[in-house]
């Protein structure tokens, strides 16, 4: 709707960022074995989500039409994956082998 009103491309950019986040964060039916591959995949997904939200902060700060509050939302959403990556990297999130 906002893009239709003023044809500012940043609205399309923000919608694309949320679309990518939805694809990455959507749960799948893969079983998380204790393999290094699955651990690496989880860390890469969290890193991707963090990077997308850091870009979101940049977009909000460079667009006068968006409230500054949205930058804080993106900051929170960028910090949450950092916590998950820390716990996964330090083996505080147990991943069990499938038998």
- pLDDT average, residue stretch 9-28: 76
Q: What's the pLDDT at 93?
A: 74
Q: What is the pLDDT of residues 73-92, one digit of tens each?
A: 999 999 998 888 888 888 77
Higher pLDDT, 24 or 56: 56
Nearest one of 52, 33, 29 to 94, comparing CA atoms: 33
């Amino acid at each position: 709707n906002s893009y239709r009103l003023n044809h500012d491309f940043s609205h399309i950019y923000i919608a694309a960022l949320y679309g990518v986040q939805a694809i990455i964060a959507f749960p799948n039916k893969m079983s998380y074995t204790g393999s290094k591959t699955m651990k690496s995949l989880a860390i890469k997904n969290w890193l991707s989500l963090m990077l997308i939200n850091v870009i979101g902060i940049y977009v909000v700060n460079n667009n006068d039409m968006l409230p500054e509050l949205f930058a804080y939302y993106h900051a929170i959403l960028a910090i949450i994956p950092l916590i998950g990556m820390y716990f996964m990297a330090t083996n505080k999130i147990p991943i069990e082998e499938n038998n």
